[in-house]
Amino acid sequence: MITLPFDTVVESEIETEKVARSFAENLSGGDLILLTGNLGSGKTFFVKCVCASFQVNKVTSPSFAIVNEYVGTKTVYHFDFYRIKNISELYDIGIDDYLKNEEAIIFVEWADLWREIIPHHHYEVAINFVDENKREIKISRHE
């Protein structure tokens, strides 16, 4: 479990995995996690590492599907807003129903593109390049 707010620089995938697995201990059903950062910064990898803590081993980017559902010791919904052109696309897939699910943990990559539909209560994970091999990971909780 990590203490929030949290801010660190990681220099490897192994270090990122340690942060993600520690963060997973903070999560329970109904939690919403927004992921922000540049393309290729490691958002999907971070989700994959968190999901491994819930015995979900096949995590892929939902870029084209918009949402992937994973079931392990917890149910996880994994969204990617990158290709969404209009907010109505999110309503068409039932975003409200997903966000109201108190059993599942929900990850949203590129959440900053459609902030207006995001509930105020959420975690935010910002992953930013420091250089080619280093990433800064900031995690906060918004009530």
Whole-prediction pTM:
0.95
CATH number of residue 33's parent domain: 3.40.50.300
Provide the residue range defining the domain that includes 20. Answer: 6-142
Q: Per the domain annotation, does 1 fall within a domain?
A: no
pLDDT at 5: 98
Whether residue 62 is predicted with pLDDT greater than 90 in this model: the reply is: no
Q: Per the domain annotation, does 15 fall within a domain?
A: yes
CA distance 111 to 126: 11
Tell me the percentage of the chain whose pLDDT exceeds 70: 100
Domain count, the chain: 1
Q: Per the domain annotation, does 106 fall within a domain?
A: yes
pLDDT at 46: 98
Per the CB < 8 A criterion, the answer to whether 120 and 140 are in contact is no
pLDDT in tens, 70-120: 999 999 999 999 999 999 999 999 999 999 999 999 999 999 999 899 999
